[in-house]
Chain A
Amino acid sequence: MFTTSWHSVNLTANECIKCNICTSYCPVAEVTDRFPGPKYAGPQSERFRENGQPHSPDRSVDYCSGCRVCNEVCPTGVRIAEINARARAQMVAEHGIPLRNRLLGRNELLGRLGSLAPHLANRSLHNPVSRLLAEKVMGIARHAPLPRWSETGTLHHWLRRTAAHRRRAERKVVYFHGCATQYYEPFVGQAAVLVLEHLGYQVIVPPQNCCGLPLLSNGEFEAAERYHRGNVARLAGFAWAGYPIVGTSTSCTLTLKEEAPELLDRTDSGTLALKQATWDIFEFLRERAQAGELPTDFRPLGTDAEPLVLPYHAPCQYRAHRVGKPALEILSWIPGVAVRESLARCCGIAGTYGYKAEKYTIAMDVGQELFDFVRSQGPGVRLTACDSETCRWQLEHGTGIPSRHPIEVLAAAYGLYDLEGRRPVVE
């Protein structure tokens, strides 16, 4: 990818003062020599890339997981992860893309196909023979925590089923669920809808596309752009009408806010409207709380003597929103919950990175910091919390302890949701 305009994120490479802070924080470079580090792969190598070269000069940038810890710690504002993503896109444009990455990028399609017959899909995928085959044939790591399709229907099924019970109100909010909630974890969406309704909102869930992030991370920019355009077409109208668009998947909301516009160099008015209207759900809830509109009718989830010890990890994709850790703040208001803040850099999975056979071990090594943190909280930990779906799966995979989205915890605190069974208390 090359500099196409003065808006291009590539130009932030000029801000680099070579200080090495990114490299010393990079969780990937720390565990593998295959990735020489963000400074090297990003601003440094960027000066050696140009349009129309015989070929992309570097390959190691493909080992960037895109976790954005580098962006977070950069004192001068270099968009390192984005520079790397664009370099990968250039490689994909030149060399094509392996079938595996093509599949992993198509979360929405996979979700939709599997949901046609979720039992069958789960059984065919989640057995040792298939996983071994998938590793040998396609390079999808055999032990990586792939999700299971929801066998009780998608989020949309539930919304249709419960349409009569859904709240109608003057104040409206649009919910962006993302593919994982739609097809794998509809209960996260259910919790979100219940909480938003509890605040007095009518929740609109319009048809929507995949945000495009899996495609962006795998370098398929053209396909990602088609998805993004689809979302702009379907959602920008709500933005212009002044409706907040909230999401429970931190990477989806980050994509709508920043990643798609920046990586795809899109500055059209629809993209900008969507960007500005998009909120992470806890960012939104905290703002409501500051306005005094967050109900505080919490039920304790534990006792003072025996609180619910909840190790909470703010995913790196969430920290990239630069909104602090609103979920941490709000969870800490719930009586009987002892939230323990993880300062680990990354769980390792980074979207689809840890699914790839050659990167699985790297992802697990990166996540070790987080797994160790959870273990250090003692044997009584029954649940962990994390805002991003792939991170939760990785967290469960690495610790053996079930993980929840903070919105599930909050919904449970409002008495709307069964935290163990992962379903609404009343349908």
Chain B
Amino acid sequence: MRTIHTEILVIGGGATGTGVAWDAALRGFRTVLVEKRDLTHGTTGRYHGLLHSGGRYAVKDPQSARECIHENRVLRRTHTHCIEDTGGFFVVTPEDADSDYPDRFQQACREVGIPCVEIPVAEALRREPLLHPRIARVFQVPDAAADSFLATHATAQAARQEGAEIRIYHEVTRLLVEGGEGDRRVVGAQVQDLVRGEPVRILADMTINAAGAWAGQVARLAGIQVSIIPGKGVMLAASHRLVNTVINRCKMPSDGDIIVPIHTVAVIGTTDVKVADPEHLAIEPWEVRYMLEEADKLVPGFSRTRILRAWAGVRPLYQENAQGMESRDVTRALALLDHRERDGVAGFLTITGGKWTTFRLMAEKTLDRACAHLGVERPCRTAEIPVPGREQGPYWLGHRLHEVETAQLQGELVCECELVTRDMLVQAARFNPTVTLDDLRRDVRLGMGPCQGGFCTYRAVGILHELANEPPEAPTGDAQAWEVAHLQSPRQAARTPTPDKRSPSSAPRPRPSPVLERTHPMANPNLLLRDFLQERWKGVLPILWGQQLKQERLDQLLYLSLMNVDHLPDPELVSPMSDFYTRIPTAETEG
């Protein structure tokens, strides 16, 4: 078995894990991150995309709110290009008009230090004409929309540039524990390379469990009990931006109280249901209905507009002694578990809880503790050093269309809904580790628009097929000139890469993928096609009515009638994700 030696091993490739790897690498630690699927496949890639101002927690969870507003300011500096400054409203709907919550909210924001200004209702309605016309009051806060896919890629790239190694589709199968009772120590992990089917041993001075909702399962591998309360949240995306400001309902945090305009869609979220297993992502009909009802209270008519998709994410909520608590009542503050103090197991930390907004802070606290354990003093630098890609400036909705227009790439579109060009796709596939089309979706937003993969799936598969069949000596493009933090930019992809044209950061970059083995999913277009259709179908099924039903009917004609994909060759071929895509969600919520 291959063995890798490192100083810090990070388990989990979500926002927190990549943040930890970034922080560790910046502090000069040799760092390896392992993730069992693709980066952001877990909770990070399944949230509504809110950069919290902290307003949501100001009344109920001031500690969490303080963390949020602090990080809100930091991330706007470090991850500028991943954030769209939409601003946020807290609106008092007719249902909540009698409550004293708005006054308490305003007071709490002041105490916590969140800039919160009450604006005239007429002004709010002028800016957001679809808002409920009978709202009583509106408070403006610095909420924003955040692209968690891009931010995680940029953070991972920042870590790579400092020498960190990021390994996706590497699942931890064992934690390597040494010593006896009272003097136990985690010295690394055995991981399984799911694509090659090989085990790898990674030895580390410090192992950091950043597996989020899966942190309990990882800790159990060291015989440690960590009670994560997986809180499932269901979200629905309307097919275009009904609002351009984050709309929060001004009341105690509850289900369906926020609409986030993120990229090209408006997302209503979320439910909060305690589930037994973080893989339990079933979407119940009542959840869909409930979200639409609640959305109508903020934007009347939301329920009758086109809904593209539903999905669920599982919050990694943690509270010591949380026996019997409802997940809605569990703190959103971060939780750093020092297993040496807590369980007498050295070399092992768990970081969980928290919000996407606070991932950097979580990493900072974790590495502070790790430094203390390792007996070194190295200050955190993540708040000062921006991640690659920031030079693109703040994200705005028209960004992609504007680039396609100025570079005249209209003829290059593979995914027309989300404006993904052929070059964007090819370069992401070549230079960013990729196993499934869904990985490319997270990279470049392939198939995320109204047709939900109807027209881009077959095109993308064809292109990847060509790519996989290129002779090894064929030019693979220049990885040096390609910047992962620009992977959502049509313009970067269109630039002819030249070796001399390096961007400011010069550290190691992703290499072109080696020639694919015959069994690699990327070398099997039929498998790619089946997997992605199945994956897209999963999210459409719960909202299959009206306009989206028409769309699916057309997609069905394309794939099942015209292409007969039900009878593609090699039905036995599976990818590491095939099972996940085909698993039929069932209702098995706890309690």
Contact = CB atoms under 8 A, between A and B. Distances in A.
A208 B74 CA distance: 60
B240 A14 contact: yes
A16 interface: yes
Given A48-B401, A53-B397, A17 B550 contact: yes
A152 interface: no
Given A46-B240, A51-B244, A58 B129 contact: no
A48 B416 contact: no
A54 B413 CA distance: 24
Contacts of A76: 547, 550
A59 interface: yes
A59 B405 contact: yes
Given A14-B240, A47-B417, A58 B449 contact: no
**Range for the number of chain A residues in contact with chain B:** 35 or more
B305 A47 contact: no
Given A40-B410, A49-B397, A15 B547 contact: yes
Contacts of B54: none
B393 to A, nearest CB: 9
B322 to A, nearest CB: 41
B417 A49 contact: no
Contacts of A11: 305
A14 B264 contact: no
A60 to B, nearest CB: 6
Interface stretch (B136-144, B207-215, B450-458, B528-536): B450-458
A97 B400 CA distance: 25
Interface string B389-420: 00000001111111001000011010011010
B380 interface: no
B409 to A, nearest CB: 10
A20 B411 CA distance: 14
Contact of A17 (B411, B419, B451): B451
A30 B240 CA distance: 28
B477 interface: no
Q: Is the interface of A mostly helix, strand, loop or mixed?
A: loop
A3 B396 contact: no
Nearest to A52: B244
Interface string B125-157: 001011000000000000000000000000000
B554 interface: yes
Contacts of B397: 48-50, 53, 57
Nearest to B129: A4
A22 to B, nearest CB: 12
Nearest to B397: A50
A45 B551 CA distance: 18
A40 to B, nearest CB: 6
A18 B401 contact: no
B242 interface: yes
B72 interface: no
Contacts of A53: 396-398
B301 interface: yes
A370 to B, nearest CB: 27
Contact of A18 (B127, B240, B396, B455): B455
- Specify which of A2, A33, A49, A51 lies most central, judged by the most chain B CB atoms within 10 Å of its CB: A51
Contact of A47 (B240, B301, B402, B554): B240
B41 interface: no
A106 B578 CA distance: 62
Interface string A24-55: 00000000010010011000111111111111
B239 A56 contact: no
Nearest to B553: A17
B201 interface: no
B301 A6 contact: yes
Nearest to B418: A47
A11 B419 CA distance: 20
Nearest to A33: B411
Contacts of A59: 405
B240 A39 contact: no
19 contacts: A6-B301, A14-B239, A15-B306, A17-B450, A17-B554, A18-B551, A33-B411, A36-B410, A40-B416, A44-B419, A46-B240, A47-B449, A47-B450, A48-B264, A49-B397, A53-B396, A54-B396, A57-B398, A58-B401
Interface of A: 2-6, 11, 13-20, 33, 36, 39-40, 44-60, 76
Given A53-B396, A57-B398, A57-B405, 17 more contacts: A5-B130, A14-B306, A17-B450, A17-B454, A17-B551, A18-B450, A18-B451, A36-B411, A48-B400, A49-B397, A49-B401, A50-B244, A50-B398, A57-B397, A57-B401, A60-B405, A76-B547
Q: Closest 8 A-B residue pairs measured CB to CB?
A: A57-B398, A36-B410, A48-B401, A14-B306, A57-B402, A57-B401, A47-B264, A18-B451
